[in-house]
Structure 1
């Protein structure tokens, strides 16, 4: 079960990244053109949010219940903080990804406010863009499975 979810989590990352890039491109185009908030903006934000939530839930199950790394780290947290790999997975990866998830949700929620369309595009572009940068920092590229 652990390996299956780990592969799902690793592979699902690509769907999240694609959805994030699509949402950023749509937001940037809408902001530059000062266009109205359209269905494509709504759908791209919704799909992105759903995919991020699913990815987070898979990661949370791995983190809390299945990962041998987190189990080992929680047995001796002091020693785990001295190990770069354990510290990355037990503290840094999840903290940074929670921040990225919050940024996506903030960006999505700001599009629901009563603002001109181009301001919604600008907000979503900023929050989704920062989220993308944060995610790229926290992906364990050296352990990429796909």
Structure 2
């Protein structure tokens, strides 16, 4: 089961990053060019929200089925925090990804409350942009390229 969930989580991450890149740049361009917010912009933001939440659910299943999770019992808190690999997979990656998905959710919710296009794009650009930076900072790149 672990290998299947890890496979899904790893490849779904490409879709999440792709959609977050598209949504972030779409919002930045819309804000900078003073474009009119349209149904397409709404769909891009919504689809990004949906795929990121699906990734979170897959990640939660993976977190509790991964061999790294047993590090908590074997090493304890001090051992996990001293080992950079265990710390990345047990603490840093899950925590930062949850924060990034919270930023996406907050940005999406705040943008819906705005009445005009420019503030909508601004909310999406800020929150989705920070979420993108956070995600890129805690992706285990060595695992991705192996």
Match of 1:109 in 2: 109
Match of 1:4 in 2: 4
CA shift at 1:140, angstroms? 0.2
CA RMSD, Structure 1 to Structure 2 (Å): 1.4
> What are structure 1's unaligned runs of at least 5 residues?
none
Q: Deviations over 1:45-75 (max 9, x none)?
A: 11001100011111101112x1110122234
Contact 1:10 1:145 in 2 (8 A): no
Q: Deviations over 1:65-124 (max 9, x none)?
A: x11101222342321221111011111111100110011011111121133111100110
Which runs of structure 1 show a deviation greater than 2 angstroms over 4 or more consecutive aligned residues? Answer: 72-78
Match of 2:135 in 1: 135
Whole-Å Cα distance in 2 between the matches of residues 134 and 71 of structure 1? 26
> What are structure 2's unaligned runs of at least 5 residues?
none
Whole-Å Cα distance in 1 between the matches of residues 27 and 83 of structure 2? 40
Match of 1:70 in 2: 69
TM-score by length of 1: 0.93
Query: Counterparts of 1:67-106 in structure 2 under 5 Å?
Result: 67-75=66-74, 76-106=76-106
Query: Counterparts of 1:8-47 in structure 2 under 5 Å?
Result: 8-47=8-47
Whole-Å Cα distance in 2 between the matches of residues 22 and 117 of structure 1? 18
CA shift at 1:145, angstroms? 5.5
Match of 1:118 in 2: 118
Distance of aligned partners of 1:60 and 1:145 in 2 relative to their CA distance in 1, 3 Å threshold: farther
Whole-Å Cα distance in 2 between the matches of residues 26 and 79 of structure 1? 43
